[in-house]
Structure 1
Amino acid sequence: MNFKIRNVVYLPYNMGLNVGSEYIEISVAHKCNMLKLLVFERNVEKEVYTFNFDKNKCLGDIWFLSLYIDDVKELENMEYAFEDENGRFADPYGKSFSGRDTWGKAAHYKNIRRSPFITTCFDWGEGGGRLYIPWSESIVYRLHIRGFTKSASSKTIYSGTFSGVVEKIPYIKSLGITTLDIMPCQEFEELMPLNIRHDIFSGMGYNADILNTTKKVVNDEKTVKNHMINYWGYADTLHFAPKASFSMKKRRNPPNEFKHMVKSLHNAGIEVIAEFYFKEGTGYSYVRDVLIYWAYEYRLDGFHILGNVYAAELAKEAALSGIKLIYENWDNTYRGYYNFKDGSDDGRLKRLASFNDSFQNDMRRFLKGDEGMINSLVYHTKNNPQYAAQLNYIADIKGFSLVDMLSYDIKHNEANLENNKDGTDYNYSWNCGCEGSTSKKTVNRLRAKQLRNASLLVFLSQGTPVIAQGDELGQSKGGNNNTYCQDNRISWLNWKLINSNSHILEWFQFIINFRKKHRVFHACKEPANLDNAALGMPDVSYHGVKAWQPDFDNYSRQLGILYFGQYAKNADGSFDDTFYVMYNMHWEAHDFALPKPEKGYRWHLCIDTDRHDINGFYQEGSEKDIGNQRGYRVKARSIVVLKGVKI
């Protein structure tokens, strides 16, 4: 193979590697005094070619090198990396990497990640395009690529990989999910320094077997003293490349495997949003380049951005105008940065969405019966800002799981080997009378009811609902609210729960379908609480135990919400049904007076979270007439939904 230096004028438009028909160009932004390009044959440790960058041709800290080559095809089995006066390093703009293909393997820790010169093309075919599902129609599922199918209980062929997710598409579809929000899946550093001394392990009484089932420590004695597994992925990252160890070993090709996953999900009607974490000090041009590359190379539907992200600039970025952006908090200063049809006032979709703990913390407090939370309940059930969607969750992967927030008053992070000092102490949880798992029937019945209450708070609110991986199956993490280092059964989805907790899965399938069918619970814009169209009743109105008389006193824990169906149209143009939702988070039952249904209609029972005999719900079309149309007794710590049915 013959290389020859090209003397060309450098224009800093394309960072990283660019391959032409007879040449290659490489540009890298790096502070150093000297820089070399190292060329390797695949699977060969020592470089076969070395080329020096010319410092005199630097543009600031950007180095540039261009080489003629006789036959570009000869690069198909070649890889590259860089070297400066301090050592070797990977191309921050590398599109794929080898050298760290095996997850968490300490023996590979010192390997320099190398990028191929040539990557194979992917055939998107007829499908695979973005879906543009409005936030008002979305059901979001948060998952971790490795943790979703790594457990042997998943029975997938390619467990813990992008292909493993493809194998589980039928399950995702059966749940009713429209959108996946995937935790960091780029080439992040999963080996991180330990903050505790190695001799603490023995002092705490942990032996090797216990370590293997709690904290995942790397399996090399020379490294185990210094590093452990970073499972979540919020770490140093080479953002342009999908994580190699999240791809299958056979014919490993992370970029194409990721594309196949996206295409398969899109063909199944499921959006793909990827989470990106950028450390403090990351430049805007790099963040912009990363997101634009993933948007068009991988056809992602959106990004969930964390860290140093320049949110205001990204919201205005023309190249991302059709892409959903999830950030901690958007406000009205971002008005206008959204597009495509949604039924909003100006006929354009809100593509921005806020993701924060506000709903979670307030609704957990309401759920456990704290005083003064009725105003918060009203706010969160109607909150649907005009310029940015609100994503609502009551449990997230980064915190207590749904069942754990009902089973633990305090965190139990002992498995993290940090003396239970890590993770937040503010969980707003309630164990229902017993800390941890128990055989007490009264406690377990209360927890089952509270699980239905908690999830219903999410799905009856106007914001977009979010489910964390495993919550739809009632999976516990043993009270650990900070499983960042738990690459084991604590974090991995236990697929056996589909059978043992089938009643929880059936409940989630029901409430997801129920929400999808009834637009009164997911309108395009926030309720006005007025009868703007003079239909005889407000779109949404609030009540107490007395109809039309809401009680906002500090001691009150009851609220009724009436949703008038004529303010919500279905896809076929027909009006939605009218619903009356009664919330009672007091520890005593309360009798609610009912507003009169429309003329010719009677109230029927759809949902009663206290009814264990029916798993809390009646299927659509099977609702039961409640008899007395003037009042209904709502049991302690329960939510009841009535539907107006024409007689």
Structure 2
Amino acid sequence: MSSAAEQEAVAAERATGDGRTAAVVGGARRAAPVPTVPVRPGRPTPLGARFRVGPDGVAGTNFALWAGGAEGVELCLFDERGRESRAPLTELTHEIWHGFVPGVLPGRRYGYRVHGRWDPWTGARWNPAKLLLDPYARAVDDARGNDFGRLPPEVYGHVRDWPEQHVADTVRDDRDSAPYVPKAVVVDDGGPDDEWAYDHRPKTPWADSVIYELHVKGFTQRHPGVPEELRGTYAGLAHPAAVEHLVRLGVTAVELLPVHQFAHEDHLLRRGLRNYWGYNSIGYFAPHAAYSASGTTGQQVGEFRRMVRALHAAGIEVILDVVYNHTAEAGELGPTLSLKGIDNRGYYRLQPDARRYADYTGCGNTLHVVQPQVLRLITDSLRYWVTEMGVDGFRFDLAAALARSMHDVDMLSPFLAVIAQDPVLRRVKLIAEPWDVGSGGYQVGAFPPLWTEWNDRYRNAVRDFWRHALPDVREMGYRLSGSSDLYAWGGRRPYASVNYVTAHDGFTLRDLVSYDRKHNEANGEGNRDGTDDNRSWNCGTEGETRDPDVQALRRRQLRNLLTTLLLSTGVPMLVAGDEMGRTQHGNNNAYCQDNELGWVDWSLLDDPEWRPLFELTSRLIALRHRHPVLRRRAFFSGRAHSADGLRDLAWFTPRGEEMTEGDWYAPAATLGMYLSGRDIPGRDENGAPVLDDSFLAVLHAGEQPVDFVLPGPPWAERYEVVVDTGREEQASAPGVEHRAGTAVTVPGRTVLLLRARP
């Protein structure tokens, strides 16, 4: 655009008096006419691109796009050389534009251009110069190798370099974005690769679940047993070497960081970084193309399905971390990739000043889930991943944003109501991250039955206990026993609490005991990103050290944290690599570190310093699987259920006496928890009462040893040591017995788990 034209447009804007301008940049999109292709009326459902053979035997693809306020829609088809042809969709049914195009076969790439008003002040941002990704695309082609890896000016609906920044997003850019963005791909729904008849879902009960959070690429990128060409892919995760580790560890489910097609933020690309975690979705039906070893023109769909089948065959469920709260289009200054150009007002929450976005996510925009078409998009996506891709559940990122009605979080919101009555979705595992960044967004303990929740109060209490920072032990008592203060309502069970000490977001477990402060300099944001509330303790030295005493203390703290997690009532969640001492060198926000900092280091398994941690973790998980008293399906009552006064749960002081109310409020570093296996709710598969061993767990966070008197009858006559975190090697711990009533010296910062013998 010439300088004179810029000045004329600005003058016109000022003349209106209301800050509006109709200026555009780029002129006509193409000098030569674009070929058109014949199109039949087709059907308005299902949405997306569906290959089929018509009654007349003609093969082709039906295209259907909801674009409520649009004035016209063009389907754009691309051949192998990237040449574009167009098919205007003239049929409009219930705000859905549709048409059947003969001869369009699976593997064909496509996109949309949507026509309408350009009036950002009212939220209208239609711009047919921008090629848009189909929200229902089953696959996204990554032939350019960038998966939205470049964000040049052409992919923005507005002119990025407009001289007057206060109106930059109001000036339309008419340059064609098609050469710079990946395309949707027509996918065949059936065919020889569809082998779901051989898939057997594990269907692990919630109470028996142990979740393992992992990144598809990061888990296998450095795995020596995975062929190099498969590392970092769905096929790599399906490889026997990767599955073997999960089986040996004993987890029942993997929770995959986002695998929906996602884009990279411009501010990262400018610094030479990429979005590694994937919390920047742009395609809710498409497996992320960069994780495919077999191709990106539909092959990624079959590869993902084969990965699910391989995990299911090993008895492992697949849970997806999904990001339906926002998209990669950011705010008014973000790119135009899909929904923003299809119907900005129909998909996003806008402020009263409709030029601006309501942002409850901290990512620039928030999907308007109250709108029927948005709710349909989300639920159609969820059902697709369950019924056609084989997944077993979902963890919803910033779930409180999805539960907002008009503005406030509402547990009777349309989203939660639809999930509760859906015959497919109400049967799968549903995990909420029960907060967002908006007012009133913190909702831990408030989600309705059917839902489980990430319990950050568990995380905080366990971290504080082991760094000896809790004022008393009340909080710890609740968290160890299932968080009844949060979840004992509405028929919810202890497994409503997903217990975790670490997650992808924050320090790794090893870094939690090695750093007092975050070290995020590699992110290029001046160490300003990432939380400062880490509740960590570096054991006396910041970062890596060769001091053998500090190293030994850190390994002991890791054993304490893992043992606490796996003995607690609720559903434990581990993070990939924590079981072998993975470090990010103090980076607590490695979302942009697609490199060795963010990948699992498998050499740690062969390191004699870290191998014992893996062995302890797998032994604790096996112990949990063997003993139903450690994975109860109902909350403890604390009441005596037999004549001898034995209760299902009891708490003891180091004196061997049951805790009084005053003990709960007093500063303390030691807590004894007795779990009775005599009276466990429920029946076994034969209808008989469930009986198990009873256990006494002694958690001592103090620096100095403490003498703990083992409770006598009716609790036990003697006790057998099962786990002693004071030992580097656990092999010699089991089998040691102590008589009830005697004092056992518990070393500083140690967990003892003892089996009660009658």
TM-score (norm 2): 0.73
Structure 2 distance, partners of 1:521, 1:542, is 16
The one-letter code of the counterpart of 2:76 is L
Q: Deviations over 1:165-186 (max 9, x none)?
A: 1111111101101101101011
Cα distance in 2 for residues equivalent to 1:591 and 1:152:
45
Moved more, 507-516 or 103-112: 103-112
* 1:257 alignment counterpart: 303
Offset of 1:320 from its aligned partner? 1.0
User: What are the equivalent positions in structure 2 for 1:107-118 lying under 5 Å apart?
Assistant: 110-116=180-186, 118=188
Q: In the alignment, is the contact (CA less than 8 A) between 2:64 and 2:99 conserved in 1?
A: yes
Checking the alignment, whether the CA contact within 8 Å between 1:80 and 1:117 is kept in structure 2 is no
Give the counterpart letter for 1:610 in structure 2: G
Distance 1:16 1:123, change over 3 A: closer
Does the Cα contact within 8 Å between 2:63 and 2:100 map onto a contact in 1?
A: yes
CA 595–354 in structure 1, closer or farther in 2 if over 3 Å, else same = same
- Are 1:34 and 2:72 matched, yes or no? yes
Aligned pair in 2 of structure 1 residues 76, 580: CA closer, same or farther (>3 Å)?
closer
Counterpart Cα distance in 2 of 1:192 and 1:108: 8
Q: What is the correspondence of 1:93-492 to structure 2 with a 5 Å cutoff?
A: 93-100=136-143, 102=145, 106=149, 110-116=180-186, 118=188, 121=191, 122-124=193-195, 126-151=197-222, 153=224, 155-157=226-228, 158-167=230-239, 168-189=242-263, 191-194=264-267, 225=270, 228-249=273-294, 253-278=299-324, 279=326, 280-282=366-368, 283-307=374-398, 308-310=401-403, 312-313=416-417, 314-329=419-434, 338=450, 352-383=451-482, 385=487, 386-387=491-492, 389-492=496-599
Indicate how the Cα distance of structure 1 residues 117 and 292 shifts in structure 2: closer, same or farther if over 3 A, else same.
closer
Distance 1:373 1:490, change over 3 A: farther
Distance 1:138 1:281, change over 3 A: same
Question: Partners in 1 of 2:276 and 2:296 — Cα distance?
Answer: 25
Query: Quick one: which amino acid aligns to residue 159 of structure 1?
Result: R
Instruction: Report matched runs for 1:10-21 at 5 Å.
Output: 12-21=44-53
**8 Å contact kept, 2:472–2:665:** no
Q: In structure 2, do the counterparts of structure 1 residues 543 and 421 end up closer, same or farther at CA, with 3 Å as the change threshold?
A: same
* In 1, Cα distance between equivalents of 2:528 and 2:257: 24
Gaps of 5+ in 1: 196-223, 339-351
Name the SS of the counterpart of 1:288 in structure 2: helix
Counterpart residue number, 1:88: 131
Mapped to 2, the partners of 1:599 and 1:182 lie a distance apart of 42
Q: Distance in 2 between matches of 1:103 and 1:356?
A: 36
Higher relative contact order (CA closer than 8 Å, sequence separation 6+): 1
Distance of aligned partners of 1:491 and 1:412 in 2 relative to their CA distance in 1, 3 Å threshold: same
Is contact 1:390–1:463 with CA below 8 Å preserved after alignment? yes
Please tell me the residue identity of whatever aligns with 2:396.
Answer: I
How much has 1:53 moved relative to structure 2?
1.9
Measured in 2, the distance between the counterparts of 1:553 and 1:251 equals 59
1-side partners of 2:83 and 2:642: how far apart? Answer: 75
Aligned CA distance change for structure 1 residues 567 and 127 (closer, same or farther; 3 Å): farther
Change (3 A) 1:132 1:356: same
Q: Is the 8 A contact 1:295 1:302 kept in 2?
A: yes
Query: Partner of 2:650 in structure 1?
Result: 541
2:698 aligned partner, one-letter code: M
Whole-Å Cα distance in 1 between the matches of residues 536 and 732 of structure 2?
29
Aligned equivalent of 1:57: 92
Cα pair distance change 1:14/1:642, threshold 3 Å: same
What per-residue deviation string (whole Å, max 9, x for no partner) do you get for residues 347-371 of structure 1?
Answer: xxxxx21114221111100110113
Cα–Cα, structure 1 residues 533 and 27, in superposed 2: closer, same or farther, change >3 Å?
farther
Return the alpha-carbon distance in structure 2 between the equivalents of residues 441 and 248 of structure 1.
43
Deviation of 1:458 (Å): 0.6
1:284/1:309 contact within 8 Å kept: no
Q: Distance in 1 between matches of 2:628 and 2:144?
A: 46
TM-score (ref. length: structure 1): 0.85
Equivalent residue number for residue 30 of structure 2: none
Distance in 2 separating the partners of 1:139 and 1:394: 14
Deviation by residue 1:563-622 (Cα, 9 ceiling, x = unmatched):
11212377786621121111111222211121115598421111221123xx24657xx4
- Runs (5+) with no aligned partner, structure 2: 1-34, 55-59, 115-127, 153-179, 327-365, 369-373, 404-414, 435-442
SS at match of 2:131: strand
Question: Are the counterparts in 2 of residues 162 and 261 from structure 1 also a CA contact under 8 Å?
Answer: yes
Structure 1 CA distance, aligned partners of 2:588 and 2:649? 36
Aligned 8 A contact 1:180 1:272 in 2: yes
**Partner SS, residue 580 of structure 1:** strand
The yes-or-no answer on 1:506 pairing with 2:578 is: no
TM-aligned CA deviation for residue 194 of structure 1: 1.6
2:274 & 2:715 partners in 1: Cα distance? Answer: 63
Kept in 1, the 8 Å contact 2:138–2:184? The answer is no
Distance apart, 1:77 and its partner CA:
4.8
What residue number does 2:626 align with? 517
Residue 374 of structure 1: how far off its partner (Å) = 0.6
Query: What RMSD, in angstroms, separates the aligned Cα atoms of the two structures?
Result: 2.7
Please identify, of 104-113 and 486-495, the stretch whose mean Cα deviation from structure 2 is larger: 104-113
8 A Cα contact 2:64 2:98, kept in partner: yes
Identity %: 27
